Structure 1
Amino acid sequence: MRAFLSRPLPAACGIGLLAQLLFCWRLTTPHVLVFDEVHYVPAARMLRDLVGPVNIEHPLLGKTLIALGMMLFGDGPLGWRAVSTLAASAVVMGVFAILWLLFGRVRTASVGAVVVALNFTVFVQARIAMLDGFMAAFVVAALAALLWAMQAKGAAVWWRWLLGAALFGLAIGTKWTALPYLGFAGLCYLVARWRRPALWQGMPPLVALALLGITAAVVYLATFWPAFLYAREPLTFARLLTFQIDMYHQQTQVLPPHTYQSAWWTWPFDWRPIWYFYEPADGAQRGVLMLGNPAVMWGGLLAVLACLAAWMRDGNVRAGGVALLWVASIAMWAIIPKSLGFFYYYYLSSIWLGIAIAAMFDHWRVRLRYWDEGFLALTAVMFIHFYPILSAAALRGPSSFRHWTWFGSWV
Structure 2
Amino acid sequence: MNLHIDHAKRILVANDRGGYTVPTDRLYPFQWNWDSAFVAMGFALYDIDRAYRELERLTEGQWADGMIPHIVFHQPSDTYFPGPDVWRTKHTIPTSGITQPPVFAIALRKVHERAGKHAEARTLPLYEAALKWHRWWYSARDPERTGLVALHHPWESGSDNSPAWDVALARVPTTTVTPVMRKDTGHVNADMRPRDEDYKRFIHLLDTYAACGWNPAKQWEEAPFKIAEIQTTAILLKAGEDLEHLARLFGRTEDATEIADFNDRSRRAMLAQWRPALRRFVSRDLISGEDVQAATQAGFIPLLSLDLDKDIADALVTEMKTWSKGLKVAFPTTKPGVGSWEPKRYWRGPAWAIINWLLIDGLQRNGHPDAGEELRMSTIAAIETEGFAEYFDPVTGEGCGGLGFSWTAAAYIWLMRV
Return the TM-score normalized by structure 1.
0.26
Structure having the higher helix fraction is: 1
